Amino acid sequence: MRPRLALDQNFPVPIIKALQASLVEVSLDPIYEIDPRLSRLDDWALLVALKNHPAQYMGLITTDARMLDQPRELAAMLQTGLSMIVAVGAGHDPLRATGLVLTHLPRIAALLKAHTPQIWRLNAHTPKPDTPRELIQALASKQKTSFPELFNSVKLTESELSG
């Protein structure tokens, strides 16, 4: 049986529903579809409700990283055995959070263990862009030559540039 996870209300359900058939590793259920009353519970009470739900949820996917700073919520995780996947680096962007979760979900699903609480903090930092000059310099260094030597040996001619 594949792991079943609850999604908090910050994820775009139409996107999740459209991709659900492709998510063979895990089943995702928005909390308001599990039970509309769940979205009004304190976070610790939500974890308890998920633990006691007949669908046997293994955890919660959320963007609320503040839950990880709350002793009561962490105690609830320990006592319920539920895991939490937190899209920490997504800010308030639901599409970014969804992409971040979907990117890591197959690996996380493979490592989830029933009754073993785990916390997965997912970060999405936009990397600094490289320049072609930096990459040619790195290649030149690997080839034990200089940037000008490598560049001059591979640069396009005027006729190649003009098409």
Give percent above pLDDT 70 in the chain.
Answer: 99
24: pLDDT confidence band, cut at 50, 70 and 90?
confident
48: pLDDT confidence band, cut at 50, 70 and 90?
very high
Give the domains, in start order, of the chain with CATH numbers.
4-122 (3.40.50), 132-162 (no CATH)
The pLDDT tens digits for 53-97 are 999 999 999 999 999 999 999 999 999 999 999 998 776 788 889
pLDDT of 76: 97
pTM of the model: 0.80
Q: What's the chain's average pLDDT?
A: 92
Strand partners, 60: 6, 84
